[in-house]
Homo-oligomer: A and B are copies of this chain.
Amino acid sequence: MREIEGGITAPRGFEAAGVHCGIKKAHPDLALIYSSSPAVACGMFTTNKVKAAPIQVSLRKLRNRQAQAIVVNSGNANTCTGRQGIKDAEEMAAMAARELQISEDEVLVASTGVIGKSLPLSKIAEGIRGASQSLSPQGGGEAARAILTTDTTAKEISVETDIAGRGKRKVRIGGICKGAGMISPNLATMLCFITTDACITPDALQEATRSAAGKSFNQISVDGDMSTNDTLLVLANGLAGNKRIKTWRKKKKTRVKDENFDLFSRALDFVLIHLAKLIISDGEGATKFIEVKVNGAPFPKDARRIARAVANSNLVKAALAGASPNWGRVMAALGAAHTKINPDKVDIYFDDLRVVKRGMGAGTKDKILRDLLRSKDIRITIDLNQGKNSTTFWGCDLTEKYVRINKSYL
């Protein structure tokens, strides 16, 4: 597997565009992603009980597990907008379908931006018209920019991997995303769109996506606040011409794992983890990227709960912002996670430096620690020493800028 250029338009048969239609004042605010042939599709969405209208519409459209286009607007979340919001999201998909001359069942839809305002449909109609006219196999970057809200950089990646069978075939995967930064008030979303030319069954695509999301977007947090619009959509159009990837294949009448599934899965993991880390690096007000690794947990859920509790602790995050060598806060945060671990067995490392040994301070000099914590990349390793389960979680620090950003009204 290797990184290649092109983002979501790197895989064969995909075109994209990003335009400005006037939902936002000056920035691009509408993106269109299109596959020249119908693609196997799957999605994952926020588990927030308050779900944006476009999520409800895309969920319905995904029932047939096939799609050919995704239309996305930024600047308006179409959330808490009632029945009208659902109609608007459906109309937005229908508009794109008309322009692209495909069935409206084949168009998925996503929104991000202010909660509680109606979609400006006439502006969106205009945007969809413009975008469909400027669709291009080089349009991935434009689309990446058009889905941003207050992110400071566009986030994209593409990779190529070899899939065995019918001669070696090069399968490509591209992805774009926007961050969970809720910079203007009520802006609230992680959006991620993945394209691939892999030929793959719907089940295998769903399984690979679920697994990759579990290792990436479900392992990051900017502020612990869950959005109403989080959306991950994946389109696989099969144009690489590879032997169809399945979750399992038959071999001498028994079911064995398809090794191509592992190859594809590993590439998808890489893409999603890369994008998830880009979101963290661009977290609101963040000055530091923080990796929390938990080893030696009795159960996988203990590892996850502890990693999440430490990465989400305001006190840990503020301490790291100030390069303050407070391992006591890490101990307090891990003890507060809902587990049955024994704190007297815990070792903690900041980078490779042990700061806690068996639940007590390891006597590390504060000055050395402080120097180490001035780095922009901080790795906290927590060895629970009471089992065999591990996890890695990514977060960022908590700064005055985060508060300032979130205090101010749009």
A residues at B contact (CB < 8 Å): 48-51, 77, 79-82, 114-117, 182, 185-186, 188, 223-228, 313-315, 318-319, 321-329, 331-337, 339-344, 356, 358-361, 366, 370, 398-400, 402-409
Contact = CB atoms under 8 A, between A and B. Distances in A.
B406 A319 contact: yes
Nearest to A341: B49
Contacts of A81: 360
Contacts of A328: 77, 79-80, 114-116, 185-186, 188
A360 B50 contact: no
Contacts of A318: 402-403, 405-407
Contacts of A356: 80
Contacts of A185: 319, 324-326, 328-329
A335 B46 CA distance: 10
A331 B399 contact: no
Contacts of A80: 328, 331, 343, 356, 359-361
Secondary structure of the A side of the interface?
A: loop
Contacts of A326: 185-186, 409
A384 to B, nearest CB: 11
A321 B116 contact: no
B361 A116 contact: yes
Of the candidates A79, A319, A331, A343, the one having the most CB atoms from chain B within 10 angstroms of its own CB is: A331
Contacts of A315: 182, 188, 223, 225, 406
Contacts of A370: 409
A221 to B, nearest CB: 11
A331 B82 CA distance: 13
A359 to B, nearest CB: 6
Contacts of A77: 328
Of the candidates A336, A358, A408, the one having the most CB atoms from chain B within 10 angstroms of its own CB is: A336
17 contacts: A48-B332, A48-B335, A50-B331, A50-B335, A81-B360, A115-B328, A115-B329, A115-B332, A116-B328, A116-B360, A188-B315, A188-B329, A188-B332, A228-B332, A314-B398, A400-B403, A403-B403
Contacts of A49: 334-337, 339-343
Contact of A115 (B50, B186, B331, B409): B331
B225 A313 contact: yes
A389 to B, nearest CB: 17
A186 B321 contact: no
Contacts of A188: 315, 328-329, 332
Contacts of A325: 185, 409
Of the candidates A49, A315, A343, A358, the one having the most CB atoms from chain B within 10 angstroms of its own CB is: A49
A339 B50 CA distance: 11
A395 to B, nearest CB: 12
Of the candidates A82, A225, A228, A344, the one having the most CB atoms from chain B within 10 angstroms of its own CB is: A225
